[in-house]
Structure 1
Amino acid sequence: MSDWGPVFIAVVLFVLLSPGLLFQVPGRHGCVEFGSFHTSGAAIMVHSLLYFALICVFLLAIKVHFYLVVVMADWGPVVIAVVLFVLLSPGLLFQLPGKSRVVEFGNMQTSGLSILVHTIIFFGLITIFLIAIGVHIYTG
């Protein structure tokens, strides 16, 4: 039986915390900006820390992904999800689709469509790592 809890939590957090979609901390012209569709390295760092904190709460503290009582904590979903969040944040490494080209690299821009495309890529990759491959990092 596959556990889709970590996949669902990771994808929802990816969408909600994508810098520039709902909000961005820090903003370009203030502490917080809402719906600007812009991003920056600092905003991606802050949002990555928020992502890390929230995914730890949902997957490790609340244990959304466990069917049975488990003695050891599985950090695999947390590590994979945070790394993918950073690498796939639209505008940091690449933006697909870009504003003027199919793919733009390091433009620190985003859009609703690029967040949708990056979310689909995120969903595919996190499903491969957590469901198909079954990456686990146990501490206990």
Structure 2
Amino acid sequence: MSDWGPVFVAVVLFVLLTPGLLFQLPGRRRLVEFGNFETSGASIMVHSLLYFCLVSVFVLAIKVHLYLDSSTREMADWGPVVIAVVLFILLSPGLLFQLPGKGKVVEFGNMQTSGPSILVHTIIFFCLITIFLIAVGVHIYTG
């Protein structure tokens, strides 16, 4: 009875909103830069806010669900949103670390990214969000 909808939404948005892959807002030289594979603290903050808004819309407002056992269950908690946003921030390539780095296996706080590091960070993101939402079942109910 696991709901894979929030995991799917969170992972897809992680890839699409990783600063520097498709776009970086704000960019280093312009307001918006496309495909520059760079990041900054400001762009990670802006992308995290965009990520929070979109995850909230898809998980809480639109209520995207994906049950593999064809049961129906109502998901009305902030757990998936909070976990996804925290992981998005912590795993944004270049903020805390970049795996693989440009010159080393791991580089810390270099504010750079690359296609391979986005792939590795996405795999780590998928594993961690699956553990928190599916295996552990973190829920934060409000109201």
TM-score of the superposition, structure 2-length normalised? 0.94
Runs of 4+ in 1 over 2 A off after TM superposition: 65-70
- RMSD of the TM alignment (CA)? 1.1
Shift, 1:49, TM fit: 0.1
1:22-59 alpha-carbon deviations (Å, 9 max, x no partner): 00000000000000000000000000000000000000
How many residue pairs were aligned?
A: 138
2:73 corresponds in structure 1 to 68
**1:108 corresponds to which of 101, 107, 111:** 111
User: Tell me, which stretches of 5 or more residues in structure 2 are unaligned?
Assistant: 67-71
Q: Which amino acid aligns with 2:87?
A: L
| Separation (CA, whole Å) in 1 of partners of 2:107 and 2:39 | 14
Shift, 1:139, TM fit: 1.0
1:41 corresponds in structure 2 to 41
| Separation (CA, whole Å) in 2 of partners of 1:10 and 1:123 | 8
| Separation (CA, whole Å) in 1 of partners of 2:110 and 2:100 | 12
Shift, 1:86, TM fit: 0.0
1:70-105 alpha-carbon deviations (Å, 9 max, x no partner): 6xx310000000000000000000000000000000
User: Tell me, which stretches of 5 or more residues in structure 1 are unaligned?
Assistant: none
Shift, 1:69, TM fit: 4.3
Give the % identical residues. 83
| Separation (CA, whole Å) in 2 of partners of 1:85 and 1:65 | 20
Task: Kindly indicate whether residue 121 of structure 2 is the aligned counterpart of residue 132 of structure 1.
Answer: no
Q: Could you say what secondary structure the match of 2:89 adopts?
A: helix
Q: Could you say what secondary structure the match of 1:80 adopts?
A: helix
**1:77 corresponds to which of 74, 77, 80:** 80
| Separation (CA, whole Å) in 2 of partners of 1:30 and 1:69 | 43
2:120 corresponds in structure 1 to 117
